[in-house]
Amino acid sequence: MHDLEDLKSAQTLGIMGGTFDPIHFGHLVAAETARVAFGLDKVLFIPTGQPPHKVEHRVTDPWERFEMVKLAVAANTGFGLSRIEIMREGPSYTIDTLRELRGILVDADLHFITGADALRSMLSWREPEEIIALTKVISVSRPGYPLQDLFETIDQYVPGHQDRIFQLKIPALAISSTDIRARVQEGRPIRYLLPDDVKSYIEKRGFYRDS
């Protein structure tokens, strides 16, 4: 069972993957800027089930992260949300997700949206050449993660990527989930870093207080 029925008419689709622990305005501005710049019919947020590379800290329950994303994307009809990674057993590998999406949305023009840091680590993910064969990649700028030398590295790993990987400059927001979690733990403010509804949910559920 998947939750992508109403996306079958989408011609061009953005995919915004992340742990979203919690979702914040950096994610939302990346998705919205990419949606408009590339004329995407929809950007689909896909929270990871079990992030393979985030073993160093405890990750919040997938359905709680899903709930926070739901609150954050509700007001934008150009945004959608899928639980396909959460439903899949084992670590969430992007390549598996893209293959699954491709199987369901056979004709869609897929665009994987990723911050510069995640693109860099993508080279160490499973099957990077396969990823860019299945989807175009929109590499959005992120403060603290320069892009220049990254593309030289990509040249070595995935030759001929020029028409598959695009750079997109977005408003610079030096916001990260790691910083938000630390702020909550230390009792510092998080208002204006993420949607108010998400902030309220974090407070109600008592997340990150003793991480």
Contact 72, 29 (CB under 8 A): no
Using CB atoms, what's the residue nearest to ligand ATP?
115
Q: Quick one: tokens of 110?
A: 């897929």
Taking CB under 6 A as the criterion, the residue among 13, 19, 84, 198 binding ligand ATP is 19
- Kindly compute the dihedral angle of the four CA atoms of residues 129, 166, 19, 153, in this order, to the nearest 10 degrees: 50
Q: Which helix (H) or strand (E) holds 14?
A: strand 12-18
State yes or no: residue 140 binds ligand ATP (CB under 6 A): yes
Taking CB under 6 A as the criterion, the residue among 26, 80, 128, 195 binding ligand ATP is 26
- Distance between CA atoms of residues 127 and 112, nearest Å: 15
State yes or no: residue 203 binds ligand ATP (CB under 6 A): no
State yes or no: residue 92 binds ligand ATP (CB under 6 A): no
The identity of residue 80, as a single letter, is G
Burial class (CB in 10 A: 0-12, 13-18, 19+), 42: buried
State yes or no: residue 71 binds ligand ATP (CB under 6 A): no
State yes or no: residue 20 binds ligand ATP (CB under 6 A): yes
State yes or no: residue 115 binds ligand ATP (CB under 6 A): yes
State yes or no: residue 122 binds ligand ATP (CB under 6 A): no
**Residues engaged in binding ligand ATP (CB under 6 A):** 18-21, 26-27, 30, 114-115, 117-118, 140, 142, 173, 175-178
